[in-house]
Chain A
Amino acid sequence: MSERKIFLTKEELIEKYNLNEEEQVYLLPLLVEAEETVRKQVAGTI
């Protein structure tokens, strides 16, 4: 398994998780929010 990028965009999430059209309605926004949370934590200053 190749190393994961620090942040995946919406389009990259759809491709990586093979999300069908229905899953893009409610599941995708949750995954996007998780990515955003991680980005904020990793990029935030200490």
Chain B
Amino acid sequence: MTSLQQERNQLILDIWQGKRPKRVPMQIMISLEYAIQYKGYSLFREYYSPKHCYEAAEELAKLVNSDSLPTNPMNMAAVHRYAMNRFMVPGKDGFYQHPNYCPMKFEEYPELIKDPLEFWARKLRPRILGIVEEDKQFGELRLNAIKNVVAAKYREYSPAELTKKYERIDVQAMAMMSMAPLDYIADYFRNFTSICIDIRRNPQWVLDACEAMLEFIVESIKRAPKIPGKINLVNLPLHMATYMKPKDFAKFYFPSFKKLIQSIQDHGFEAGFFCEENWDPHLDALNDLPGRARIGFEAADPKLVVEKLGNRHIICNFFNTHFLRTATPEEVRDEVKQLLDIVCVHGNFIFSFNKPFLCLGDARMENIQAAVDAVLEYGVY
């Protein structure tokens, strides 16, 4: 390990241990789709080639001096395509989107509550994955086959290679992506609009489904592989909370979410979650969570977050990606400085943008670089 990589790792280790690091660490996330377009490649063509995806991610690693690797070269688009995944559908521009599809019927809640694994495997997967629907006997085998084919191609083009080559943080590993129980039901089983109606039509079903899903998710976390010696993160994007009244949040969302965070920590993982939209009404609840978590904020008021959470958790994101589209590099530097003045009070802030860039038009490279340089300059404690 190089000394630069060690220094970068130390920033993250310190922050997880509640110590003030030497400077604000940076975890810039740039989507592979952006990288592909930046390199002049096509989302219809090179996007499916691990070699080209690696090249595109490498280009971004060269250009963006973030502490973490900015772009992960891996993508599973070929798996979604082969599986005919109704939740990951390519648009006319080649970009994969998650449509507001609802595979579960309202009257099926009792089946979900009784045996979530059976319901997921037998009822919902064929409705979501076309390949499982049209090939009852070999659909799951086919799915496993394409996953293995894609994974094998990425063996020599892994993010670990780039991380090592460009001396980025490697002390942190993503053990798995997961979801809060209510989000799982809203994202994969019902949809955003249906779940809001379900809460009114039969609140007890929704509550029971959250508890059943909690146990189901906990079983998957128990089995997630851990890398010894690393901070093994379970990442959760939080979706539904900001669409709910505080009273509904307290009743339907938070209890099973809190138990999940406890379970993540009990099984030797760290929890990292991203609060989508504006969490200002729910900030107090975050102090009621067990342990220390890494919490990202998309649109919460940074002053309020610092005031309410103090040094209780690690905080990140905030910086508005939209700004990178139109501002000048000087304006970006000023904006970074202003944000750091607010959020660096307790030494528990990781700099990152509030959304990854998806399309080339989402951010100008000189603005991304200006933000990184500004953190290096103003982020020293």
> Given A22-B42, A23-B48, A26-B49 in contact, is the A3-B134 Cβ separation under 8 Å?
yes
Closest to B84 in A: A17
| A25 and B45 contact, CB distance less than 8 A | yes
Q: Which chain A positions have C-beta within 8 A of B46?
A: 26
Binary contact track B29-56/A, C-beta < 8 Å → 1, others 0: 0000000000000101111110010000
Query: When the two chains form their complex, are residues B149 and A30 in contact, meaning their CB atoms are under 8 A apart?
Result: yes
- For residue B259, CB closer than 8 A to chain A, the reply is no
A17, closest chain B residue (CB)? B81
Count of CB-CB pairs between chains A and B under 8 Å:
60
Given A22-B45, A34-B146, A38-B141: A27 and B78 within 8 A (CB)?
yes
Bound complex: CA of A26 vs CA of B42, how far in Å?
A: 11
B84 → chain A closest CB, angstroms = 8
Interface residues of B in 84-119 (CB under 8 A from A): none
Tier of interface size on chain B: 20 to 34
Give the shortest distance, in Å, between A38 (CB) and chain B (any CB): 5
- A25 / chain B contacts, CB cutoff of 8 Å: 45, 48-49
Q: Does B216 count as interface, using CB distance less than 8 angstroms?
A: no
Cα A27 to Cα B148 in complex, Å, equals 15
Residues in B121-169 with C-beta less than 8 Å from chain A: 130-131, 133-135, 138-139, 141-142, 145-146, 148-150, 153
The answer, yes or no, to whether B82 is at the interface (CB within 8 Å) is yes
Known: A22-B42, A26-B46, A30-B153. A3 touches B135 (CB 8 A): yes
Contact in complex: B149, A37 (CB < 8 Å): yes
State which of A2, A4, A22, A34 has its C-beta within 8 Å of the C-beta of B145: A34
> Are A26 and B45 in contact, CB atoms less than 8 angstroms apart?
yes
Beta-carbon contact of B138 and A42 below 8 Å: yes
Within the complex, the shortest CB–CB distance from A27 to chain B, in Å, comes to 4
Query: Which A residues are CB-close (under 8 A) to B138?
Result: 6, 38, 42
Binding site for A on B (CB under 8 A): 42, 44-49, 52, 78, 81-82, 130-131, 133-135, 138-139, 141-142, 145-146, 148-150, 153
